[in-house]
Amino acid sequence: MIRKVAALVVPGVAPFELGIAYEVFGIDRSATGGPSFDFTLCTPEPGPVMTKGGFPVVVDAGLDAADDADVVIVVAYDLLDTDGHVDVPAAVVDTVRRAHDRGAWLLTLCTGAFVLGAAGLLDGRRCTTHWMYADLLAETVPTAAVDPGVLYVQDGKILTSAGTAAGIDAALHLLRTELGGQATRNVARRMVVPPQRDGGQAQYVVDPVPDDATSLRDLLDWMRAHLAEPHTVPTLARRAMLSERTFARRFRAETGTTPASWLVRQRLARAQELLEGTTASVDEIADAVGFGSAAVLRHHFTRVLRTSPSTYRRRFADVAS
Query: Any idea what the CATH number is for the domain that residue 225 is in?
Result: 1.10.10.60
pLDDT at residue number 267: 93
Q: Can you give the CATH number for the domain in which 177 is found?
A: 3.40.50.880
The verdict on 145 and 222 lying in the same domain is no
Report the run of H or E that residue 285 belongs to, with start and end. helix 282-289
- Of 191, 225, 247, which one is at a domain's C-terminal end? 191
| In-domain check, residue 181 | yes
Q: Give Cβ neighbours of residue 85 (< 8 Å, ≥ 6 apart).
A: none
Name the phi and psi angles at 155, rounded to 5.
Answer: -130, 100
The verdict on 238 and 293 lying in the same domain is no
The verdict on 102 and 144 lying in the same domain is yes
Stretches in the chain below the pLDDT threshold 70: 195-215, 318-321
pLDDT at residue number 1: 84
pLDDT at residue number 296: 95
| In-domain check, residue 203 | no
| In-domain check, residue 196 | no
The verdict on 168 and 251 lying in the same domain is no
Cα 95 → chain centroid: 23
Q: Which one is catalytic: 92, 96, 110, 172? A: 110
Task: Provide the β-strand partners of residue 153.
Answer: 160
| In-domain check, residue 197 | no
The DSSP secondary structure of 102-164, one letter per residue, reads TT-EEEE-GGGHHHHHHTT-STT-EE---GGGHHHHHHHSTTSEE-TTSSEEEETTEEEE-ST
pTM confidence score: 0.71
The verdict on 249 and 269 lying in the same domain is no
Please confirm, yes or no, whether 127 is among the known catalytic residues.
Answer: no
- Of 191, 206, 228, which one is at a domain's C-terminal end? 191
- CA dist 9 → 32, 40, 130 (Å): 29, 10, 18
The verdict on 132 and 231 lying in the same domain is no
Range of the domain at 96: 4-191
The verdict on 84 and 123 lying in the same domain is yes
pLDDT at residue number 137: 96
The verdict on 247 and 151 lying in the same domain is no
The verdict on 168 and 243 lying in the same domain is no
- CA dist 43 → 17, 64, 265 (Å): 15, 9, 40
The verdict on 9 and 157 lying in the same domain is yes
The verdict on 222 and 119 lying in the same domain is no
Helix residue ranges, H only, 12-51? 15-25
- Indicate the pairing of strand 47-50 with strand 56-59: antiparallel
The verdict on 30 and 150 lying in the same domain is yes
DSSP 318: S
Domain count of the fold of the chain: 3
